[in-house]
Amino acid sequence: MLQSWKDQFLENLKWCRPDLLASLKEKGTLDQYLEYREDQAIEMTKRLIKDGLAEDQVVELVIDDLFFREIDKPEEDEKEGEGDP
């Protein structure tokens, strides 16, 4: 079982964006990228829970949303992973 949001994002990168994963590792920005994504997930979770969704629904929605961003917006994700987000 995955231990954190970061683990989930890393797993997503391994399966759907190995090119981005390799690029982030090469540039030494992988940890920063994963922390940025984790911060996004936490903020999204807070908003969804405030809207009254159950925890399991929230986790599924957040992971799906951020997972699909890896596929749909690769150029933006690569830029976000560089430098300060």
Report if residue 25 sits inside a domain. yes
Q: What span, in angstroms and rounded, lies between the C-alpha atoms of 7 and 2?
A: 6
Q: Which domain holds residue 66?
A: 11-80
Q: What span, in angstroms and rounded, lies between the C-alpha atoms of 53 and 43?
A: 14
Report if residue 68 sits inside a domain. yes
pLDDT band, very low/low/confident/very high, at 85 (cuts 50, 70, 90): very low
Distances (CA, A) of 52 to 2, 48, 55, 67: 25, 7, 9, 23
Report if residue 5 sits inside a domain. no
Report if residue 37 sits inside a domain. yes
CA dihedral 61, 44, 78, 83 (to 10 degrees): -160
Structural domains counted in the chain: 1
Report if residue 4 sits inside a domain. no
pTM above 0.85, yes or no: no
Report if residue 44 sits inside a domain. yes
pLDDT tens sequence across 22-73: 999 999 999 998 888 888 888 888 888 888 888 777 777 776 776 666 655 5
Give the pLDDT of residue 23.
Answer: 92
Give the pLDDT of residue 52.
Answer: 87
Q: Which residue has the tokens 């951020």?
A: 66
